[in-house]
């Protein structure tokens, strides 16, 4: 920076007439234009300038100067701004004359490199966050057109963290906008991966909670006692389709018949009642599962009977109008469970 500009803009004040030296106040109009190397050179013009620029009150000048250098990270905590500027912009290490220089310099260089890397990653993270937001918008539009009832849908945030989608948003360090075309390139594979994984988890959950009947011919039932590896169990998804695999949504009122449904209605249920919530608040109710198993047993059907083979094919003989016609199996089972519960309580009460 030419010094004539510096002296033209800066102001001088005298403390009193007795003072022989002016007190110099750094003018912000100048400092906003300076770079760290300018300050280093200025601080060496005279002892007075050195006192000014090395004083604590001038710290903001060094910070402003540093910010004038694009991409220059903050200094490590252990290093004052002037020393940091010297290390970065001068060939000789500021502290090279000191005895500890040999140990300090490599640490300093490493700290600066780390800070630079941190800043780069932070900026990358912001860009990737924007790309994820673009994906969420596209995904919400995408699921509106899904008609397959057996597809499990992750919620929109979860979707953006699936491996395929993470690869998409991270590509080129998140610099490229996620267009509809780029989204469609990965969505099918991401949904397939998600469904394989989540179905396996759901199947495992259903197996772990399956009821056991000691007096029932379990030749067609895998009761889990046969040695099977977790992977083999996870891969056997047939349990999802069983009539006993009635699921319950904990997000809905538990007294509502719509909060109980078979696996094939998870997606329809969530799109209708929880369009932006994960389906994971789903389990099965022991009493309902037990009733379903007992009903199959009474009918002489194996416990492996599929839900679709029995739903809307049986009626309840209790006389309640809703169930005199073949009903949805989950609703019928819920009805029988509640009726049984009522009878048990009535018998127990004095
Ligand atoms: Zn629900
Ligand atoms: Zn009934």
In order, the DSSP letters of 271-291 are: HHH-TTS-TTSEE--HHHHHH
Given this model, what pLDDT does residue 199 score? Answer: 87
Please give the Cα distance from 62 to 32 (Å, whole number): 10
- Give φ, ψ of 253 to 5 degrees: -60, 130
Expressed in percent and rounded to 5, the helix, strand and coil fractions of the chain are 60, 5, 35
Residue 24 carries which DSSP code? Answer: E
Q: What is the mean pLDDT of residues 309-320?
A: 91
Given this model, what pLDDT does residue 14 score? Answer: 42
Structure tokens at 144: 């509106």
- Give φ, ψ of 69 to 5 degrees: -100, 110
Structure tokens at 24: 């110099």
Q: What is the mean pLDDT of residues 42-54?
A: 86
| Alpha-helix residue ranges (DSSP H) falling in the chain | 3-9, 28-31, 36-42, 47-54, 59-67, 81-89, 101-144, 156-160, 163-170, 180-208, 230-235, 266-273, 286-299, 307-310, 329-348
What residues flank ion ligand 2 with Cβ within 5 A?
Answer: 316, 318, 320, 323
Ligand nearest to the CA of 275: 1
Cα 335 to middle of ligand 2, angstroms: 6
Interstrand relation of 260-262 and 246-249 (parallel, antiparallel or unpaired): antiparallel
Over residues 172-225, the pLDDT tens digits come to: 999 999 999 999 999 999 999 999 888 888 888 887 766 544 333 444 444 444
8 A C-beta contact, residue 242 and residue 306: yes
Please report, for the chain, the start and end positions of each structural domain, with discontinuous segments joined by +. Answer: 3-94, 128-201, 209-348
Over residues 66-108, the pLDDT tens digits come to: 888 876 778 877 778 888 888 777 755 444 444 444 445 666 7
Cα 235 to middle of ligand 1, angstroms: 26
Angle at 82 (CA atoms; ends 79, 87), nearest 5 degrees: 70
How does residue 343 score in pLDDT terms, banded at 50, 70 and 90? confident
Given this model, what pLDDT does residue 25 score? Answer: 52
Cα 336 to middle of ligand 1, angstroms: 21
């Amino acid at each position: 920076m030419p010094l004539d500009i510096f002296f033209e803009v800066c102001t001088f004040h005298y403390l009193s007439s007795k003072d022989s030296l002016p007190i110099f106040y750094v003018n912000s109009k100048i400092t906003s234009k300076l770079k760290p190397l300018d300050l280093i050179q200025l601080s060496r013009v005279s002892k007075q300038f050195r006192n000014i620029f090395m004083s604590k009150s001038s710290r903001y000048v060094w910070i402003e100067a540093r910010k004038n250098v694009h991409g220059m990270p903050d200094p490590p905590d252990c290093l004052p701004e002037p020393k940091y500027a010297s290390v970065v912009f001068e060939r000789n290490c500021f502290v090279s004359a000191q005895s500890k220089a040999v140990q300090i310099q490599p640490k300093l260089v490493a700290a600066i490199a780390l800070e630079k890397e941190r800043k780069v990653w932070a900026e990358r993270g912001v860009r990737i966050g924007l790309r994820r937001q673009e994906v969420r918008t596209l995904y919400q539009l995408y699921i509106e057109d899904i008609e397959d009832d057996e597809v499990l849908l992750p919620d929109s945030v979860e979707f953006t963290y699936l491996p395929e989608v993470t690869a998409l948003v991270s590509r080129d360090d998140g610099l490229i906008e996620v267009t509809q075309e780029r989204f469609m390139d990965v969505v099918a594979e991401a949904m397939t991966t998600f469904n394989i994984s989540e179905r396996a988890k759901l199947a495992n959950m259903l197996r772990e909670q399956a009821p056991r009947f000691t007096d029932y011919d379990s030749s067609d039932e895998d009761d889990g006692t046969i040695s099977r590896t977790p992977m083999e169990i996870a891969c056997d998804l047939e349990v999802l389709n069983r009539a006993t695999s009635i699921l319950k949504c904990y997000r809905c009122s538990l007294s509502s018949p719509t909060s109980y449904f078979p696996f094939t209605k998870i997606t329809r249920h969530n799109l209708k009642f929880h369009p932006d919530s994960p389906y994971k608040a789903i389990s099965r109710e022991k009493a309902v599962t037990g009733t379903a198993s007992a009903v199959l047993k009474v009918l002489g059907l194996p416990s492996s009977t599929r839900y679709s083979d029995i739903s809307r094919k049986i009626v309840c003989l209790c006389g309640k109008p809703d169930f005199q016609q073949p009903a949805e199996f989950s609703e019928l089972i819920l009805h029988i469970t509640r009726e049984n519960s009522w009878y048990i309580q009535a018998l127990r009460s004095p």
